[in-house]
A and B are shown apart, each in its own frame.
Chain A
Amino acid sequence: MPRGFVRTTALGYLLIVLVGPLSMLFWRVYAEGLGKAWTALSDPDTVHAFKVTVILAGIAVPLNTIFGVICGLAIVRKRFPGKGIVNAFVDLPLALSPVVVGLALYLLYGRTGWFGPWFTSHHIQILFSLPAMLLATVFVSVPFVAREVVPTLREIGDEQEQAARTLGASGWQTFWRVTLPSIRWAVIYGVVLTTARCLGEYGAVAVVSGMIQGRTETATLRVQEEYENLNQAGAYGISLALAGIAIVVLVLMTVLRPKEAAA
């Protein structure tokens, strides 16, 4: 009896909190009319917003992948002073409000910030343009690759690397031929998580972008804009596109999830 009861409760909760709202998405897009959703999606500003999102993710993901791998290697294989602090800073974006991140960047690169005046005098626009949005996106998606790589590196140990080195392999060779192949699934899984986060970021980017229509609007900001303009069909249409990407990400996550799902 309790087993069935627990199952019913657990699944019922999922239905109310998760599945219910999700199914509404399809229903609402359908109810508002597919044509309207399509109009909103093919609006030049929306297309531009998606382009901006893709550009941001396209730069942030490779950057954080490289950093994540290096950082993971440093945390697991090296001993250096301040390692605890590095570890804490890598995790920080997971626990910190994106708005706080955005505000911090705003204050750093704003008119009265530390770097703001220098960039202004050199006619480089940071705030309310792509560079600041990129910094925000990179900030919030820093932890994912590193977090996935660290446990895998711990688990595989460094015996193979040492063997490679004794056999005369250089540092680079060891990395490319031994280390990287053994952590590749962790890296890929981290990349998927990073991508999802970059595409979905809202708070941090909202603070620094200025939300200029057709220029510094990302897809998520566009949803907000359409919603505020009472264009429900548009908001739901763009949401559906974003949800489609999320579902692709979800499938990838399920396929790539490190082992516990294997059983």
Chain B
Amino acid sequence: MFLTVIVALPIAALIWSSRSDGASGFWQSISSSEAVAALELTLAVSGLVALTNAVFGTLIGWTLVRDDFRGKSLVNAIIDLPFALPTIVAGLLVLALYGPSSPVHVHVAFTRTAIFLVLLFVTLPFVVRTVQPVLYELDGTMEEAARSLGASEPTVFRKIVLPSILPGILSGVAMAFARAIGEIGAITVISGNLPYKTEVSSVYVFNQNQSGNGAGAAAVAVVLLAISFALLLGIGGIRRLATRHERA
């Protein structure tokens, strides 16, 4: 009941009003060149961010579980920071470091690179946190066996470690991707939000609604909603696959 009022009803209203102009109106709103440009940028940047964090997230997860060094628990704690920090603050921080008054003389503010960087920050924890518990449970004996049989480190990783943590990586990537697509707070301060250049879909929806084009905003919002649902279904599928694998 609570769920219906809080979550389901607004979603229903959203889908309803996106159809208020009829199917052709809906299609027109989605295929407006600005909306398409924003959606393409969003998907491309989010995909790139998810992949980058898949690689580095796995590396970090592996380092935190298998490696040992001083200050490890501190690093482990810091990973969660993007979950705890308001994303608009994250945006400001990336702007401070890589913006006009950058102390390292990297000035990428108001470009697509800036969007990429800030999304890396915001979505960092997902893959690390899904890979870590799986690696933990996978005790090192198989890896050691492979190593003693003469397998090189990369081979051990590819043949032994990767297959078991792949479901974890994938669901982490899907979550990171979903989060990147939906992010607005962090992006809004750093991207400059130039239509066709640095305007992502969530900002597009926001701006369209502010300027009174509710139907256009709703249409794009429904597309984002559909993507979120698809990703959730995908994650559910991965999880089911992984647990079946375990039982067998």
Q: Which residues of A contact B (CB under 8 A)?
A: 2-3, 6-7, 9-11, 13-14, 17-22, 24-25, 27-28, 67, 71, 86, 88-108, 110, 112-114, 135, 138-139, 142, 193, 196, 199-203, 206-207, 219-220, 223-224, 227, 235-236, 239, 242-243, 246-247, 249-251, 253-254, 260-261, 263
Contact = CB atoms under 8 A, between A and B. Distances in A.
A101 B184 contact: no
Contacts of B98: 21
Nearest to B206: A99
Nearest to A53: B86
Given A200-B87, A236-B92, A95 B178 contact: yes
A14 B57 CA distance: 10
A261 B75 contact: no
B206 to A, nearest CB: 5
Contacts of A263: 136
A156 B214 CA distance: 48
A98 B92 CA distance: 19
B132 interface: yes
Contact of A97 (B77, B132, B202): B202
A104 B202 contact: no
Nearest to A238: B89
Given A103-B209, A107-B218, A138-B6, 14 more contacts: A7-B69, A24-B97, A100-B224, A103-B221, A104-B10, A104-B13, A112-B17, A113-B13, A196-B83, A200-B84, A200-B185, A227-B189, A253-B83, A260-B136
A135 B81 contact: no
Contact of A253 (B6, B59, B84, B132): B84
B96 A25 contact: yes
Contacts of A102: 206
A107 B59 contact: no
Nearest to B71: A11
Given A17-B124, A104-B221, A193-B83, A3 B182 contact: no
A99 B7 contact: no
Contact of A99 (B3, B121, B205, B214): B205
Contact of B14 (A18, A104, A223, A260): A104
7 contacts: A94-B178, A97-B183, A104-B11, A202-B87, A203-B202, A223-B89, A246-B86
B224 A96 contact: yes
Given A13-B59, A17-B117, A27 B103 contact: yes
Given A242-B89, A249-B84, A139 B6 contact: yes
A206 B183 CA distance: 13
A53 B139 CA distance: 45
A95 B232 contact: yes
A250 B182 contact: no
A235 B182 contact: no
B96 A97 contact: no
Which 4 pairs, one residue from A and one from B, show the smallest C-beta to C-beta distance?
A97-B182, A200-B86, A202-B185, A104-B10
Contact of A107 (B14, B90, B189): B14
A96 B10 CA distance: 13
A106 B232 CA distance: 24
B203 to A, nearest CB: 8
Contacts of A112: 17
A22 B154 CA distance: 33
Interface string B67-86: 10100010111111111111
Most buried by A among B62, B92, B182: B92
A35 to B, nearest CB: 19
A94 B175 contact: yes
A99 B154 CA distance: 42
Nearest to A200: B86
